[in-house]
Amino acid sequence: MSNKQIRFDSLCVKEYKDNRSTTPHQLPIYATSSFNFEDMEEGIDIFTGKKIGHAYGRYGNPTIDTVSQKLADMEAFGTGLDAFGFLTSSGMSAISTVLISLLKNGDAILTQNDLYGGTTEMLLKVIANSGIKSTFADLTDLDAVESILQQNRTIKMLYFETPANPTMRCIDIKAMVRLAKKYGVTTCVDSTFCTPVIQQPLSLGVDFVIHSTTKYLNGHGNSIAGVIIGHKQELKKQIWTTLKLLGTTCNPWDAWLINNGMKTLSIRMERHSHNAMAVAEYLDTHPKIVRVNYNGLPNHPYHEVAKSQMKTFGGMLSFEIDGDLPQVLSILNKLTFCTKAPTLGDVDTLVLHPATSSHLNVDRSIREASGITDGLVRLSVGIENSQDIIDDLSQALA
């Protein structure tokens, strides 16, 4: 029936034909939960995989799919790899979706001691309930890593962050890939701190790359999402099936915000890196600072590893204040320019105290052994004038 044949109250309800005549300059937000079929046969073809098309928002959406593929192309840029990407509801859901997709009861994960606190908690409190065990080790000790892989053949995944959050420890990606391939283990890297502008793990042989797009990829602190990027096409459907059935899919609004943020990613990362170096050099000479964790400093123990796999050194650093917990918190409370917030990667400078926030639920002995002491402060250096950041740190430390 045409719109002229139906009654007025039905006309109110019905969608009108999309009258787009020319291509929009900006990616549209497809705010729809489902998609119409031309006929029942088209629906059958899409659901059976005979035809590629959108059916239901949890399975895919043009806005989400466009941004996912752009992220995959950025990670694979210059490698010749045919990469794919899946946007998820958060960085944590990206990690959990990959683990549940690729591992089963009886499998094990080998990872590092100084992971982001939320990831450690998820491995021990959620993933472990599926019968998937986690082994924590110093992944910078290659002999120890190989020994563990030799002795425990249930390890099916090598999962790591580089640089690590918040210690900034760098894992040698090429070395991890070499050992993983030797023992038939999948590699998955959280590269949130770097983005593809600074580091491309796929180019170094990694199987999967994870990002919390909430951070630098979006860059403006107004969306929460994550992304899974891989290049092994035989595993693509496996990831997608888990994604759609768990319901960890991203939404089109957050995908659109990520797309908007990515347009300035390259110049933002350049400024973040420049400012972080200036702040790190200032802190490195301050009498109240015990140590500065920034891979750009030539005296940093992981400087050479970072230099071999990162184009610049990024905007993240951490530093340890000489003082007890009340003294440290008192100093942080004196900051007026830097923002105290439990996130990173925004355009403004953000301060976090890991021991009382991101790593609060990690056993004290474990976090302190990894250098996450009561005196450690994480700084996400923004793109403001670097001297304003330094001035604020100076007055607080004074």
Of 298, 279, 291, the C-alpha closest to 319 is: 291
Catalytic residue among 30, 45, 58, 307: 58
* CA 241/CA 162 separation, integer angstroms: 28
Q: Using alpha carbons only, what angle is made at residue 351 by residues 383 and 170, rounded to the nearest 5 degrees?
A: 80
Q: Which of 380, 162, 384 is nearest to 271 (CA)?
A: 384
Per-residue tokens: 343? 């996130």
| Token pair belonging to 239 | 């990831």
The answer to whether 65 is a known catalytic residue is no
| 153 catalytic per annotation | no
Whether residue 381 contacts residue 315, with contact meaning beta carbons closer than 8 Å, is answered with yes
Amino acid identity of 353? Answer: H
- C-beta neighbour count of 119 within 10 angstroms: 22
Say whether 378 sits in a helix, a strand or coil: strand
Clarify whether 263 is annotated catalytic: no
Task: Show Cβ contacts of residue 236 under 8 Å, excluding neighbours closer than 6 positions.
Answer: 84, 230
Beta bridge partners of 293: 318
**Which residue is catalytic, options 172, 190, 254, 346?**
190
Catalytic residue among 59, 114, 116, 207: 116
Whether 302 is catalytic is no
By the 8 A CB rule, do 355 and 337 touch? no
Active-site entry in 133, 156, 169, 215: 215
Catalytic residues: 58, 116, 190, 215
